[in-house]
Amino acid sequence: MAVVWASRILGRPLPERVAGIDLMMGMLAQGDAGGYRVYCLGATPEVLHAVVSRIRREYPGITIAGSQHGYFKEADEARVAADIEAARADILLIAMTSPRKERFLSRWSRSLAVPVCHGVGGSFDVFAGYVQRAPERWQRMGPRMALPRQAGAAASVEALLHHEFGVPRDGCGSSRAAAARAHQTDGLARPST
């Protein structure tokens, strides 16, 4: 959702929404064909076990480099990060809540040495068969279905864009003039120094 909102605020809307689970499935298919090493981080121990088992069964070309449930304490983060680094994974799939996964990556991504880190949200629960995907009709409706629940996330996206690229904080989606100026320059509005 955040990527969709950011693309609209910056005046470069994405051609379509790609659900996290669809992106994850594509990564697994590529990983199967390319012999990638995948590390799975997050969810409950039960869900994580089901995810790892299904990946091994359906994607035999993938090596599970490691796994760790998401219910570890902040004091254990250094150990978890060291385990991920030692695993030499090509892909890190992170099924932890926001903003916990973003904070974890902010603190540890440089030391993890993983080329691709992908926050998959609740995709592990769906992939493991514990939760059903939303009906296709709801999926097509995209952000409108989640608007009340995601209103705070929209404000966070806008604040990040303001901080990183100088997009004015007029309310989500109302920064068209700044986006137009950015499009006329190098594609990104940057704060003046």
User: DSSP labels for 11-61?
Assistant: T---SS---HHHHHHHHHHHHHHHT-EEEEEES-HHHHHHHHHHHHHH-TT
Q: What pLDDT, on a 0 to 100 scale, did the predictor assign at position 189?
A: 39
Query: Chain-centre distance of CA 125, in angstroms?
Result: 15
Burial class (CB in 10 A: 0-12, 13-18, 19+), 36: buried
In this prediction, residues 25-47 reach a mean pLDDT of: 97
Q: Does residue 125 register a pLDDT over 90?
A: yes
Cis amide bond preceding 135, omega within 30: no
Dihedral (Cα; 105, 100, 71, 26), 10-degree rounding: -60
Burial class (CB in 10 A: 0-12, 13-18, 19+), 100: middle
Q: What pLDDT, on a 0 to 100 scale, did the predictor assign at position 191?
A: 40
Q: What pLDDT, on a 0 to 100 scale, did the predictor assign at position 135?
A: 73
Structural domains of the chain, ranges and CATH numbers in brackets: 2-16+142-184 (no CATH), 20-127 (3.40.50.2300)
- Lowest mean per-residue pLDDT among 4-13, 151-160, 173-182: 173-182
Partnered with residue 95 across adjacent β-strands are 42
Q: What pLDDT, on a 0 to 100 scale, did the predictor assign at position 57?
A: 98
Cα gap 38→86, rounded to integer Å: 12
User: DSSP labels for 66-133?
Assistant: EEE-S---GGGHHHHHHHHHHHT-SEEEEE--TTHHHHHHHHHHHHH--SEEEE-TTHHHHHTTSSPP
pTM tops 0.85: no
For the chain, the average pLDDT equals 80
Per the model's pLDDT, the better-predicted residue between 4 and 105 turns out to be 105
